[in-house]
């Protein structure tokens, strides 16, 4: 490979000044020649569609300084932290990075040392059989009792998951994990403060509610994202847009059919059908009210939102297992530096490198991503269908200019 690469694990929904800080710190800390980001595709971890599609977001990331953006396949992107981390870390390892840098609320922690200590601790499976609370709560109880720490932020949870993923791959000594202190607003903060880095949540709300003008953009997002905001409208998506589709799927299937959907087990299929039936007559509903009816103490809101996405995508247990066992490297955007790294990578990659979608891979390893792309287009205004996942090629940023072209 050419020089040294640092890896970032991202959603960029959208790429903001906090991400720019993360990128700059990663380059400064590691002195890497190439920055490789693995980025969620059209749907993100909470089970919702991204504000802009993966092609637009990856192009903005490259304009803002990332050298190469690789897609995190939907089979990993819409999963809880451990599986999300597993896919992202394996892609970065296969892409040849020597360090992974991530933001954390407790950057002073040694996440790798903690992961090793947890692995070596005696197993007590009874802790994880408290079915009246989410798994994460049970896990946190174990951490408090045995290691005197409590993990309350998503970024810290992910940091621990990245460490476990490297250990599982046998790469803990080959790839260094570095935490940097997360700056600015909290992860889910909804207020915009000009003196702080804005959270992606606050930016999404401001964009969707038309609360950002051109002058304000520069306060919160770098130039590449400003261009995207000015040239492209964000996806005008509200959770209720999936209601008619969800009603049709759930009420036209037998419980045994619904139970074939990934993770729709342990009574969730019956609970979902019963909840949908209770709201059946409503054309428009209060989504929070619906989710509260569907929710139970055992599952988090995010877990159930992902469950609904699995239903909309009709992902079966077998399909998900196949996809998770067949990872690949799919470039979405790159600059000249990233293109050179990608060229060298093709000769020695341990995972398939997908340059073009063809009839074979669209029906095998890319099957779920093509399906997710079609659903994302269904949520577009007027159901604009272009089947981008099949026809779109990566963006290239040529030279130092901000002019992009298809390749």
Tell me if 246 sits within 8 A of 277, measured CB to CB.
no
| Measured CA angle at 152 (ends 174, 204), to 5 deg | 90
Residues making up the annotated binding site are: 9-22, 103, 155, 182
Tell me if 195 sits within 8 A of 183, measured CB to CB.
no
Distance CA 386, CA 392 (A): 9
Three-class DSSP category at 150: coil
Q: What is the full DSSP assignment across 348-364?
A: T-SS-B--S--HHHHTT
Instruction: Label residues 371-393 b or e (16+ Cβ within 10 Å = b).
Output: bbbbbbbebbeeeeeeebbeebe
Residues making up the annotated binding site for ATP are: 9-22, 103, 155, 182
Burial class (CB in 10 A: 0-12, 13-18, 19+), 403: exposed
Distance CA 83, CA 88 (A): 9
DSSP letter, residue 123: P
CA distances from 294 to 79, 241, 312 (A): 19, 17, 16
Distance CA 305, CA 239 (A): 10
CA distances from 42 to 86, 207, 316 (A): 19, 18, 19
């Amino acid at each position: 490979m050419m020089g040294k690469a640092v890896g970032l694990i991202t959603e960029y929904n959208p790429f903001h000044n906090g991400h720019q800080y993360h990128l700059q710190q990663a380059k400064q800390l590691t002195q890497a020649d190439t920055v490789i980001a693995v980025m969620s595709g059209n749907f993100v971890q909470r089970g919702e569609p991204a504000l802009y599609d993966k092609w637009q977001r990856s192009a903005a990331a490259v304009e803002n300084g990332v050298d190469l953006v690789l897609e995190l396949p939907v089979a990993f992107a819409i999963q809880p932290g451990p599986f999300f981390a597993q896919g992202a870390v394996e892609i970065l390892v296969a892409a040849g990075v020597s360090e992974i840098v991530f933001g954390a609320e407790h950057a002073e922690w040694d996440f790798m040392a903690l992961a090793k200590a947890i692995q070596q601790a005696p197993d007590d499976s009874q802790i994880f059989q408290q079915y009246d609370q989410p798994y994460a709560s049970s896990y946190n109880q174990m951490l408090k009792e045995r290691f005197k720490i409590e993990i309350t932020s998503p970024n810290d949870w992910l940091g621990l998951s990245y460490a476990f993923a490297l250990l599982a791959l046998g790469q803990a000594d080959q790839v260094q994990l570095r935490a940097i202190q997360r700056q600015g607003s909290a992860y889910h903060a909804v207020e915009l403060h000009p003196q702080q880095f804005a959270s992606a949540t606050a930016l999404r709300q401001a964009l969707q509610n038309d609360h950002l003008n051109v002058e304000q953009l520069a306060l919160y997002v770098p130039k590449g994202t400003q261009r995207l905001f000015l040239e492209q409208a964000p996806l005008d998506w509200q959770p209720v847009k999936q209601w008619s589709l969800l009603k049709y799927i759930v009420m036209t299937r037998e419980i045994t059919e619904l139970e074939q959907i990934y993770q729709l087990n342990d009574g969730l299929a019956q609970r979902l059908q019963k909840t949908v039936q209770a709201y059946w007559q409503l054309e428009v509903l209060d989504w929070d009210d619906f989710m509260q009816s569907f929710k139970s103490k055992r599952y988090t809101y995010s877990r159930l939102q992902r469950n609904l996405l699995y239903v909309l995508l009709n992902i079966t247990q077998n399909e998900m297992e196949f996809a998770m066992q067949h990872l690949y490297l799919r470039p979405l955007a790159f600059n000249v530096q990233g293109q050179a790294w990608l060229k060298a990578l093709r000769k020695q990659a341990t995972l398939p490198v997908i340059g073009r979608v063809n009839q074979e891979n669209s029906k095998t390893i890319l099957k779920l991503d093509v399906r997710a792309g079609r659903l994302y287009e269904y949520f577009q205004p007027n159901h604009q269908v272009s089947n981008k996942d099949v026809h779109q090629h990566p963006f290239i940023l040529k030279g130092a200019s901000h002019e992009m072209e298809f390749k």
